[in-house]
Structure 1
């Protein structure tokens, strides 16, 4: 919410891992915001009998502070596991797949409906637990957080969403599924807000909060006579269950609205698909997404988790060749423009980018990313050839001008 820095903080936090038949990479960056309020979770193999071949990933987009997001990133999963088991989960079985010792009975994983109920119960429980924190209870900390996640069993996806972060599934080279953003202007959300005595103004709860479901945000959860899911802001997640299709499933993306504000579901998935054809480093792919969104104009914190579900994805020699040709073309065009500097003076980077954006002979740019995804290549060439460049390179607010 609110204030911005004079220039974005572009240092990134990265992580990656592999197991349970999948690979993941993640990246997060503070960007233009004065504070980093995002958090994330990535766990391969859940710490519960019968669930060691399950995995969990989530992104938390905090607002008005980072406390709720950080707490949930550390503790929500344990609430989900506990509540799922209590809802009718693991029982001793001779047929369970986790048995590694004849003296230890195997344990079946929780049933689908038990997991769904456990996820919902976990959100309500952790929200009520955080309400007891003294600084949150006394209004000294008014933070809240969205939460979007995916729980993967060997057979099912459990997509989890509370707020306006988003998850998408890319299957058979198209967007197969997307979670639904919880915005105050949605009819169902608006009805609950109004029934709780609130209003929706400028697409915000009481003209202030831009999401209608979130963890924390206890200033919006104090209407007498209303249950936790009937408040102005609800902590209740929507849970969508889908069967896995190993032959068709390609990847899942979880991201906060700092990403989705400037890229649609289709744009982001096509961009990621194109990057995976030239690079198998998932951290690098996630970094490219964040840099591209920065140059497309995102002013928010940005976090993305990319979960690759297919183990047969391979870098394409043809795609690598075309990528190299594109980079070489861009470098030559920058050199050409700078070499023609004359009476009008040396062109700044904004002018160079504007000219490139109108170049009709440009080779095909990465789908979804466009010229913004090639900003680093263009800027590197510009700085190398520009005798008048400043110490810190070009203006970081380039997206505002072209």
Structure 2
């Protein structure tokens, strides 16, 4: 995902693990972004005065169970066929413990995110570093988690605007998808065209919606905010309807709102024993994978080696084989210690019956044999 014009990103190499980065923030690629203090104020876009939340019948069902996920995760990124790398991801399996929070919750606490930069990597790096901090530093965390996460997205966007005002070289944008696991609760917040897909007993369940300008809901919001969609692009410039950053692009954002929104859509579910793993990835993955196809592929790989980090690399490598033309980043989060089981489809009973005409023909045949 990129701007049509105005790309100013520099040449970079594919990301590699950096041992100097704390293990909690594995593979969160950085270019020493500006670190700003946490702001508690929240400025909402005028076009988004009502809370937006996805609903899905498969996801909102609440199965009564004592199941608690046993978290394992891994991620992988590749520059692909692009000249520069602008995708970033983060994996934190012990979100609260790593940051010394002693607020008790039953079960794990984890944070995962993917950020797909455009016009440079600064916004993606900035969001990767600041978004989890704004979540953790909220005095109400982990209570009222949906409000906290939505607020953190907008705080990150506002903080990046301030950083860009101090250093114009940071000007860029990024889509963002963040996933929190708190006990059994799975929360996914998305702004842009990254995607999260849950595997529930082999079935793919979309946990996010791609924010493309051509989507009817997004187009209505864009037009109500003074923008327009031309040839599938927001204001003829961006092929996403929501993103963090892009404050330098004329007509996209202002303090009173604008057609480009950083407010995420959220969807939550309570994990059950049937939930096997979650895939989150930037749009370079989903350009060549359908959700169910990705789940089927990842499931087969996990059955072979049961390693989420290797599975993430498998997804990226397969996307390259399928000629994805973008940077690639994927994270796989497993909820069980054992690999996904083989699914045996139950045999349905087949009821057979003869018509009166068929019975007559059969009787005639038997009578002929007796003669």
Shared fold (TM-score, shorter chain, > 0.5): yes
2:204 counterpart of 1:204: no
2:49 counterpart of 1:22: no
Comparing both chains, which one has the higher relative contact order based on Cα–Cα distances under 8 Å and sequence gaps of 6 or more? 2
Change (3 A) 1:44 1:28: same
What TM-score do the two structures reach when normalised by structure 1?
0.65
2:171 counterpart of 1:142: yes
Provide the C-alpha distance between the structure 1 equivalents of 2:121 and 2:13, rounded to a whole number of angstroms.
Answer: 19
Matching of residues 225-240 of structure 1 within 5 Å: 227=256, 230-240=257-267
The answer to whether the Cα contact below 8 Å between 2:122 and 2:171 also exists between their aligned partners in 1 is: no
Indicate the SS of the match to 2:304: coil
Change (3 A) 1:191 1:138: farther
Change (3 A) 1:10 1:268: farther
Match of 2:282 in 1: 256
The answer to whether the Cα contact below 8 Å between 1:59 and 1:303 also exists between their aligned partners in 2 is: yes
Matching of residues 118-267 of structure 1 within 5 Å: 118-134=148-164, 139-220=168-249, 227=256, 230-245=257-272, 247-267=273-293
Map Cα deviations across residues 85-139 of structure 1 (whole Å, 9 max, x no partner). 34xx4xxxxxxxxxxxxxxxxxxxx33xx110001111111111111114x5675
The answer to whether the Cα contact below 8 Å between 2:117 and 2:123 also exists between their aligned partners in 1 is: yes
Unaligned runs of 5+ in 1: 90-109, 317-402
RMSD (CA atoms): 3.0
1:292 shift after superposition: 1.1
The answer to whether the Cα contact below 8 Å between 2:78 and 2:328 also exists between their aligned partners in 1 is: yes
Indicate the SS of the match to 1:33: coil
Indicate the SS of the match to 1:311: coil
2:124 counterpart of 1:69: yes
2:93 counterpart of 1:44: yes
Map Cα deviations across residues 362-389 of structure 1 (whole Å, 9 max, x no partner). xxxxxxxxxxxxxxxxxxxxxxxxxxxx
Map Cα deviations across residues 191-223 of structure 1 (whole Å, 9 max, x no partner). 222122221011111111011100001135867
More strand by share: 1
Match of 2:316 in 1: 290
Provide the C-alpha distance between the structure 1 equivalents of 2:253 and 2:333, rounded to a whole number of angstroms.
Answer: 42
Provide the C-alpha distance between the structure 1 equivalents of 2:188 and 2:319, rounded to a whole number of angstroms.
Answer: 24
Unaligned runs of 5+ in 2: 27-67, 343-371
Change (3 A) 1:119 1:306: same
Change (3 A) 1:43 1:207: same
Provide the C-alpha distance between the structure 1 equivalents of 2:205 and 2:176, rounded to a whole number of angstroms.
Answer: 21
More helix by share: 1
Provide the C-alpha distance between the structure 2 equivalents of 1:218 and 1:310, rounded to a whole number of angstroms.
Answer: 42
Indicate the SS of the match to 2:103: coil
Equivalent residue for 1:59, pick from 104, 111, 114: 114
Provide the C-alpha distance between the structure 1 equivalents of 2:253 and 2:284, rounded to a whole number of angstroms.
Answer: 34
